[in-house]
Amino acid sequence: MIRLLLLCAAFLLIVLKVNAQSFELMPGTERLFVDAQWLNTFEEEGKWSLFSRSRATVDEDENTNLFTGAYLNYTTPTGFGGTVVGRISTLGAGADAGIHFFKAKASFMLYALASVEISSVFAYSWFSIFRYTPKLNSSWRLYSSFELFSNFNTDGHVASVQRIRAGLERKGYQFGLALNLSGFDQDYRTTDANPGIFIRKQF
């Protein structure tokens, strides 16, 4: 429990230091999930941007998994562009390069990235986030989000993660039902499900 509290405190410090644009806490049946994200553009046209996220999980046995990634993007007016990724996690560190598509409107956002790992070992991945948040009335919005990450190498599928959120939004707070799914191995045989609830603050 002490380790869990320290982990949450560390993420709150990260949020305060980088002025995160969103912070999510998801208590699940198997583990606690914490996620802080922010997006910064470097000029008025918004062609250059930096998307960063830090997330962590901890289970009842205090096993933790940490990840921090920074996505430097150049986006053309068509929504397509190039991306360089730097990442640090419990499993190690690395970098990727790829092509992305980004589009954001008042009620939806889509970011999709196909990338290749920059290393001597060939590996590639797909990462995407889709959010749909239509207005219900002057005070409430529907909040839905689907996130997908899949990683492959020369032998085939390595790992995949899906994060699904469905709920409501009011005054910058989103809350509702959550489900995190993970699958591993070439045949997706080793799976993990973590259903729960989520509360998310958008700044």
pLDDT at 80: 97
DSSP 135: B
C-alpha–C-alpha distance, residues 14 and 171, integer Å: 23
- Its pTM stands at 0.87
pLDDT at 8: 52
Name the residue type at position 98. G
pLDDT at 20: 59
pLDDT at 165: 98
> pLDDT tens, 133-159?
999 999 999 999 999 999 999 999 999
Beta strands per DSSP E along the chain: 22-27, 31-41, 48-59, 64-75, 80-89, 92-104, 108-117, 123-132, 141-153, 156-170, 173-184, 190-202
Domains of the chain: 2-202 (2.40.160.40)
C-alpha–C-alpha distance, residues 149 and 195, integer Å: 18
| Three-class DSSP category at 144 | strand
Q: Concatenate the DSSP letters of all residues of 20-67 into one string.
A: -SEEEEEEBSSEEEEEEEEEEESSTT--EEEEEEEEEEEETT--EEEE
pLDDT by 10-residue block (mean), the chain, 203 residues:
50 50 95 93 83 93 92 95 96 95 93 96 96 97 97 94 97 97 85 95 88
